[in-house]
Amino acid sequence: MRYFFTFCFVILSGFFSSKAQMLFNMDLENWTQIKEQGTGNVLYEEPGDMNIWTTLNKLRLLSPAAPVTVTKITGDVHSGNYAAKLTTSMMSTMVVPGLIETGFFDPIKPPNLFQGKPFTDRPTKLRCWFKYLPVGGDSSLIAILLYKYNPATDSQDTIGYAQYISQETVSTYTEKVLTLDYYKPGVSPDSIIIVFASSAGAEENFGNIGSTMFVDDVTLEYTGGIEMPLMPEVTVKTNLSADGNVLSVSTTDYTEKGSFIVYSLDGTEIINNNITGTDFNVGVQNLPVGNYFYTLKNLGKSLFTGKFILTR
């Protein structure tokens, strides 16, 4: 995987480090239009929260000749309304892959591309549904890297990673599961990089125009099988009462035959309430203070997973 991240540095050298925090609600169901100043013309669309995902579409902020290599599609999706389509193109003599990764791009502040987002968990797996239609001998890339800043060496230590690189044509949506290998037992990371790319060899300027990757329904899986969707179709907000006995839950979509499940951090199910509607309360008065996962399901499908901290 090192060579692909090297490619990102070569294009727009950069790295990201920050105070660690939990990463929530990465969303490919929502897209933001980026418009040209002055004219208002749409330059491209960016997936989800612009502070989470970034793409090489932002090269258009530096040059109008830059291609748009990541687009929102409808219809041809695994579930929900939208999926991401990544297509390899060229900019002058440079291969520009369709690429989505965690991080952000600043067209003004060098080094422009800042990889990774603050993250302190140790998930066991990365899951996604994808298709890949390569041109020639091109390869797709799916990768996840967890790292932690080491002040003694002034460098990033790899805590865990997993990657998938393949020339295989995948013509229908297929689930890909990457199981992370951890190298430092008991050590929590401070950042995470997740990458999807339509041409894995772009750091060597290898990639064929038209190689296309489709990505949908990305989740992180934790111990006990808890899944955290990274492209949720539903947004959930929680609020703990002042006495710490009631968790108020608000969702953006109506849940007809749903359930709200609370887990301990080791994946043990603690609460499983049947729910209907968009707003409801969950009694947590019998739980000890600490950190908990929750999952919102409808008709057995996980819609959203998050965390809450119980204090009193």
How confident is the prediction for the chain on average, in pLDDT?
85
Rounded to the nearest 5°, which phi and psi values hold at 12? -145, 70
In this prediction the pTM is 0.78
Strand partners, 182: 160
CA–CA separation, 156 and 175 (whole Å): 30
More confident: 105 or 138: 138
Give pLDDT, residue 51: 60
Assign 84 a pLDDT band (cuts: 50, 70, 90): very high
Residues 15-65 pLDDT 10s: 333 333 344 434 467 788 888 888 888 889 888 654 678 899 988 888 888
Tell me if 149 sits within 8 A of 190, measured CB to CB: yes
Give pLDDT, residue 191: 93
**Residue range 120-149: mean pLDDT, rounded:** 95
Task: Tell me: pLDDT of 7 over 70.
Answer: no
DSSP letter at 198 equals S
**Residue range 147-169: mean pLDDT, rounded:** 96
**Residue range 82-101: mean pLDDT, rounded:** 94
**Residue range 216-226: mean pLDDT, rounded:** 86
Q: Which CATH architecture has domain 234-310?
A: Sandwich (2.60)
Assign 292 a pLDDT band (cuts: 50, 70, 90): very high
Task: Tell me: pLDDT of 81 over 90.
Answer: no
Give pLDDT, residue 1: 37
Task: Tell me: pLDDT of 148 over 50.
Answer: yes
Assign 103 a pLDDT band (cuts: 50, 70, 90): confident
CA–CA separation, 171 and 209 (whole Å): 18
CA–CA separation, 111 and 282 (whole Å): 46
CA angle 219, 102, 183 (to 5 degrees): 75
Give pLDDT, residue 107: 66
Domain boundaries for CATH 2.60.120.890 within the chain: 2-226
CA–CA separation, 218 and 28 (whole Å): 9
Fold (CATH) for 2-226: Jelly Rolls (2.60.120)
Domain boundaries for CATH 2.60.40.3080 within the chain: 234-310
Give pLDDT, residue 18: 33
Report DSSP letters for 247-275, one per residue: EEEEEEEEEEEEEEEEE-TTS-EEEEEEE
Report DSSP letters for 46-113, one per residue: EES-TTTEEEGGGGGGT-TTS---EEEEESS-SSSSEEEEEE-EEETTEEE--EEEEEEE-SSSTT-E
CB neighbour burial string for 164-177, b if at least 16 within 10 angstroms, e if fewer: beeeeebeebeebe
**Residue range 90-116: mean pLDDT, rounded:** 82
Rounded to the nearest 5°, which phi and psi values hold at 256? -85, -55
Task: Tell me: pLDDT of 141 over 70.
Answer: yes
Give pLDDT, residue 10: 38
Task: Tell me: pLDDT of 273 over 50.
Answer: yes
